[in-house]
Amino acid sequence: MHCGLRELERREVARGDRIAGQARGQFGIVHRDMVYDIEVDTTEIGAAAAAAVIVERIRDGTAGAALERMRAGLT
């Protein structure tokens, strides 16, 4: 799951239980050097729509092969 910084900061405040500035501090590093089978941007879609994207990617066979890609990068 990915999300734009402004939306992350808005969510951080709305939740009320996050350390102020944590979203900004982690934004540039949280996904660094990561490989995912499916990536979904939740900046403007909710949980149900994100889940639908994931289900569709699994069903249509385009979910990816993150483990194989990571192994290829490590050898």
Q: Extract the residue ranges of the chain whose pLDDT is less than 50.
A: 75
**pLDDT (tens digit per residue) in 58-71:** 888 877 777 677 77
Q: Which of 60, 64, 61, 42 is nearest to 51 (CA)?
A: 42
Provide the residue type at 16 as one letter.
Answer: G
**What pLDDT, on the 0 to 100 scale, is given for residue 6?**
97
53/33 Cα distance (integer angstroms): 23
Query: Are 39 and 54 within 8 A, CB to CB?
Result: no
